[in-house]
Amino acid sequence: MKNVTIRDIANELGISIATVSRVLNDSGYASKEVKEQVFSMAEKLRYQPNAVARSLKNHRTNTIGIIIPDISNPYFMTISKGIEDSVREYGYHLIFMSGNENPVKEKKMLQVLIEKRVDALVLATSGKNEDVIRNIKESGVPIVLIDRKLREDSLGLDLVVEDNIKGAYDLTNYLLERGHHRIGVINGSLEVSTGFERYEGFRKAIHEKGLEANPELIFNGNFTKEDGINAVDYFLNLQNKPSAILSFNNTMAFGAIIQLTKNGYSVPHDMVVASFGEVEAAQILKPSSIITIKQSPYEMGLRAGEILLEHLLDNAKELGKTIFDPHLSISE
């Protein structure tokens, strides 16, 4: 008799294996209705949790390597939580290395994790490592790119990303519509897709209003808190200061708010701040203090985990791109 797996339950119900896994592991994030469906299907198919353990025999090391550019950024840690919740029932553990927004370091990290024989990789790239990534893929180790694409889309890799152009476009439009025409922009690295696409979204929005990007108001950073601090120092020293600051990730926005506070600026009263990505710390300011594009890191992580499982358990070929839609969050 064939062993029944949670995959069979998922297929019968037409829902994802991650959802089934969450219900059976009681790790939350499922509606009452779905829970009931899962439990009754498990009973109907005579599902035995041990079948999963048996299916693990073929795994080599049960570890998945995660390389993220900033290991202390809550955004990337929420992605990781999603991955972990997807793969936990299958006995996989996550190993983290930090790329530090440094392509040279990231290349070394990729080599180390391959030497450590991880079964699969999830990478939020710091850029420039197309060759190494292609070699890994060709060697048969599944690799999912998360949050950030490669410059060359041709690699046919699995991607889980967000629509950064749309998100930045919406965020910029919101500021423009409220009369902000001097917007101080804090860019992330233009070497990585999230950085250049968000700047692209900004430019698209201002061009539609017949405006041009003002080089004086563009600060190019690298996604770190220090960049946000330095950007504010720069903007506050301009003769003609911006009326709003637009940061293209959460940690730079956090740095910006720290430095505005230090300089006696109250947000949003003295300076409006808009952030691509939620700033956890802003919860201790008054509600609606900053304007935010909400991202979906947990759901992105779940999806990346599902893709890995398809590769590891079913030898699936690449599954293509999943694009999440970020949305503007204002609670006035």
Residues found near a second copy in the complex (CB under 8 A): 61-63, 71-74, 77, 80, 93-98, 108-109, 112, 115-116, 254, 257-258, 261-262, 267, 280-286
Residue placing its CB nearer to a second copy in the complex, 46 or 60:
60
Instruction: Give the shortest CB-112-to-a second copy separation in angstroms.
Output: 5
- For the bound state, the minimum distance from the C-beta of residue 236 to a second copy, rounded and expressed in Å, comes to 16
Q: Report the residue number, 93 or 181, with the smaller CB distance to a second copy.
A: 93
Handedness of CA 193, 100, 305, 64 (dihedral sign): positive
User: What's the CA gap between 263 and 273, in Å, rounded?
Assistant: 15
Q: In Å, what is the CA distance from 304 to each residue of 6, 86, 161, 179, 223?
A: 18, 8, 10, 40, 22
Q: Residue 101 — left, alpha, or beta (φ > 0 → left; ψ -120 to 50 → alpha)?
A: left
Closer residue to a second copy, CB minimum distance, 80 or 222: 80
**Largest interatomic CA distance in the chain:** 78
Which three-class secondary structure state does DSSP give residue 144? strand
The smaller minimum CB distance to a second copy, of residues 117 and 209, is found at 117
Q: What is the SS3 assignment for 136?
A: helix
CB of 47 to a second copy, least distance (A): 24
Shortest separation between residue 221's beta carbon and a second copy, angstroms:
18
| 88 vs 137 by CB, closer to a second copy | 88
Kindly tell me which of 9 and 97 has the beta carbon lying closer to a second copy.
Answer: 97
Shortest gap between Cβ of 134 and a second copy (angstroms)?
22
Helix ranges, 116-163 (H): 130-138
Name every residue whose Cβ is closer than 8 Å to that of residue 89 and which is 6 or more positions away in sequence.
Answer: 6, 21, 24, 25, 52
| CA separation for the pair 281, 171 (Å, rounded) | 20
Residue with Cβ nearer a second copy (165 or 302): 302
Full DSSP string of 39-76: HHHHHHTT--THHHHHHGGG-SS-EEEEEES-TT-HHH
CB of 298 to a second copy, least distance (A): 13
* CA dihedral sign, ordered 58, 62, 65, 70: positive
Give me the least distance between CB of 289 and a second copy, in Å please.
9
